Structure 1
């Protein structure tokens, strides 16, 4: 039986609950399962082959950091889109442009 390890990884004020379980198979001896939760909700769960044979701690931290960066970019994009939509809803005019003016 393989032991499950639960840790909390904090990045930029976010606390990720991480559940890690080594899951070796014949051709992938360093394979592991990883589940990342935020505020009690599972936001990512996958099995990683870890072909590079990285130490488990390094591999898990790297994956959580990469996932955090993707989540951060997504939140920034959503914020920009919301700003655009708010500005667009407030605008109710017509832009007139004279092509002969210089």
Structure 2
């Protein structure tokens, strides 16, 4: 899922959330351990991010729940949102329930 948020100060943020369900809890744990390491890649968005977004992995969080790994990443879409706002966006997004 890709959502665009307004921070109330004239800046916008794109937030990507992916839910990956693995066959076994151990495999989900392995996936989370892998994606939490810098430089190992991430789950790609369907299609392209909106113009102006640049997902770099800097504003990232993940959560493990049995066989489910939830991955969230945020990027500025316009303006200059604060690092605190970007970090908060992923902390909240990673708690979204799976669709």
User: What is the TM-score with the length of structure 2 in the denominator?
Assistant: 0.32
User: What is the TM-score with the length of structure 1 in the denominator?
Assistant: 0.31
The structure that has the greater radius of gyration is 1
The one of the two structures with greater contact order (alpha-carbon pairs below 8 A, sep at least 6) is 2
